[in-house]
């Protein structure tokens, strides 16, 4: 009877220790995954912000280019028509 109790106790103790180790390992994996996801989200937001700024810069440069092109066309027309 004592042998059965000892075997049963060791199985239960072994299962408990194994569960504790696995839970600890899983908690560490989850913490690492959360940290990595947070880092990725921050990088994604920074990239989005940079992309937004670059799109705005492109729009500004396009506007400046079109404005300069209109001024140039106007100056050419003025020169062609005798210059006023």
What are 26-45's pLDDT values in tens digits?
A: 999 999 999 999 999 999 99
Residue 40 and residue 37: Cα distance in Å, rounded? 5
Specify whether the CB–CB gap between 78 and 84 falls below 8 A: yes
Q: What is residue 83's predicted lDDT score, i.e. its pLDDT?
A: 58
Q: How far is CA 3 from the centre of its chain?
A: 58
Contacts of 84 (CB under 8 A, 6+ apart): 78
* Termini Cα distance of the chain: 118
Quote the domain boundaries for residue 28: 1-49
Per-residue pLDDT band at 5 (split at 50, 70, 90): confident
| Together in a domain, 69 and 79 | yes
Contacts of 78 (CB under 8 A, 6+ apart): 84
Averaged over 2-16, what is the pLDDT? Answer: 86
* Structural domain total, the chain: 2
| Together in a domain, 41 and 12 | yes
């Amino acid at each position: 009877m004592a042998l059965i109790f000892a075997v049963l106790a060791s199985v239960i103790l072994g299962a408990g220790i194994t569960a504790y180790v696995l839970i600890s390992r899983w908690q560490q994996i989850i913490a690492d995954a959360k940290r990595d996801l947070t880092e990725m989200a921050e990088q994604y937001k920074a990239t989005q912000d940079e992309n937004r700024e670059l799109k705005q810069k492109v729009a500004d440069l396009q506007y400046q280019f079109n404005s300069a092109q209109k001024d140039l066309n106007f100056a050419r027309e003025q020169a062609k028509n005798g210059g006023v």
